[in-house]
Amino acid sequence: MIRMTGSGLTDEATYDRTRFTQWRAGEARGDGLSRRTLLRLTAGGGLALAAFGSLPSGTASAAAPIVKPLPPEFFEVYGTNAETRWEALSGQGYLTPIDRFFVRNHTSTPLIDARSWRLKLFGTGLRGAPTADRPVEFAYADLLRLPSETITSAIECAGNGRNFFTSQQGQTVSGTAWKLGAVGVARWRGVRLATVLAKAGLTRHAVDVLPEGLDADYVTAGENLGKVRRPLPVAKALQDVLLAYEMNGRPLPPDHGHPVRLVVPSWVGISSIKWLGRIEVSETPLFSPWNTRYYRLLGPGYPVEGTVVTRQVVKSAFELPWNAEFAAGAKQVLRGRSWSGNGRIRRVEVSTGDGWRQAKFVGAATDRGWQRWEIPWHPGVSGAYTLRARATDITGVTQSDVTPHNTQGYLFDAVVRHPVRVV
């Protein structure tokens, strides 16, 4: 058996190579499924998974997919998902207010009573290898009593910007056609996952954790994929992952994972499992459709099995509506924000059509949030203009003109062409 607990597994390329090799070698398992079954699953075979026992206590169903109001001036709604309109961040502070924070639900927001809620941990990676039916349990009040930590971090959907694969690059991709609003930055307070894992008896042989949501099973095209869940290497779990129970100073709202969600900084939004119910901790690698089928870069430019999507990429957005109107001859200030899963933003350049100029940073740079910026603009002649913002992050990565195609439209990082009119 290959044992890897080293920090090498927070490096995404190593993680993916190691895990896929292990999977092919037959070491992988996910909720008791054999590798052959998993292969059938990823091949799109029409297999229905058995539900994972009975509904955990404290779960109730909600009528609407999203509980909070979704006023059209703040959100654009796509089925069970809603993206923030960038103009709704204009005049706001650094954080995305809860009433404008995007929601990505595979099914519906469940209403969970924190008093009867329990977090359940089990698996071979814990001392004594507790089983799923005799797990180590934490009540909400137990978590509140543990040392807390507050972090400011973005949560962003891996598919944020997907719309532009089609509208800007003419490519076909599957999934919600988000523009740039499937991202938000909040202050999260909670307990480090490392603290809870240590209390639960983490062994040094553990390699993966598999956090699972309490929302309904995800059924797609007649196939039940079970609870929303995605494994994380232990190295990342111990690094900076939070079990969050507060968002922007308030108890976590229903749509964002009440009572407790994971916040996995810098990694794709699917890692940050909401309505956390249980966590398997294993000394063998774990898999779910959310890292074998979804959230892989697939397509002509990638290996057949694809490469796993982990870290977010660099992006920029203007705090403006599409086709915003400006008065000819009037002095303007263009404002926006840039962010990257690689760390803080080093530089932002803006083009209004006649070359790149450097934008001025507003407020401090942060590692896991975004950078606000502004730049003056004095549009002379009326007509159609294209605004562009191009960020460079601390690792030297600059937004390019084109993002290589992948069939599921993840990680769009090219410069977005934002149309405006001067009248």
Residue 206: CB atoms within 10 Å: 23
Residue 299: CB atoms within 10 Å: 15
Give the residue at shortest CB distance from ligand MTE.
Answer: 213
Distance between CA atoms of residues 71 and 84, nearest Å: 10
Backbone dihedral region of 250: left (phi > 0), alpha (psi from -120 to 50 degrees) or beta?
beta
Least distance from ligand MTE to the Cβ atom of residue 106, Å: 3
103 interacts with, out of Mo ion, ligand MTE, none, CB within 5 to 8 A per kind: ligand MTE
Q: Can you tell me which of 157, 186, 237, 238 binds Mo ion, judged by CB under 5 A? A: 157
138 interacts with, out of Mo ion, ligand MTE, none, CB within 5 to 8 A per kind: none
208 interacts with, out of ligand MTE, Mo ion, none, CB within 5 to 8 A per kind: none
259 interacts with, out of ligand MTE, Mo ion, none, CB within 5 to 8 A per kind: none
Buried b (16+ CB within 10 A) or exposed e, 240-266: bbbbbbbbbeeebbbbbbbbbbbbbbb
Segment 91 to 110, residues that bind Mo ion, using CB under 5 A: 104
**Part of the chain binding ligand MTE (CB under 6 A), chosen from 103-111, 278-286, 340-348, 367-375:** 103-111
Binding status of residue 155 toward ligand MTE by CB under 6 A: yes
Q: How many residues bind ligand MTE (CB under 6 A)?
A: 18
Cβ atoms of 389 and 318 within 8 Å: the answer is yes
Residue 344: CB atoms within 10 Å: 18
Cβ atoms of 266 and 146 within 8 Å: the answer is no
Nearer to ligand MTE, 255 or 283 (CB): 255
Interaction pattern, residues 191-230, with ligand MTE; x per rule: CB under 6 A: ----------------------x-x------------x--
Nearer to ligand MTE, 241 or 273 (CB): 273
76: phi then psi, degrees, rounded to nearest 5: -115, 125
**Residues in contact with 194: Cβ distance below 8 Å, sequence separation at least 6, in sequence order:** 237, 238, 239, 241
Give the pairing type, strands 183-192 and 242-247.
antiparallel
Binding status of residue 243 toward ligand MTE by CB under 6 A: no
Binding status of residue 269 toward Mo ion by CB under 5 A: yes
256 interacts with, out of Mo ion, ligand MTE, none, CB within 5 to 8 A per kind: ligand MTE
Q: Can you tell me which of 105, 153, 266, 408 binds ligand MTE, judged by CB under 6 A? A: 105
Segment 261 to 280, residues that bind ligand MTE, using CB under 6 A: 269-270, 272-275
Kindly write down the DSSP assignment for every residue of 7-42, as one continuous string: GGGGSHHHHHHHHHHHHHTT--BBTTB-HHHHHHHH
Segment 305 to 344, residues that bind ligand MTE, using CB under 6 A: none
Binding status of residue 296 toward ligand MTE by CB under 6 A: no
Please name the residue that has the structure tokens 């927070």.
Answer: 10
Cβ atoms of 172 and 386 within 8 Å: the answer is no
Nearer to ligand MTE, 101 or 164 (CB): 101
Interface positions with Mo ion (CB under 5 A): 104, 157, 269-270
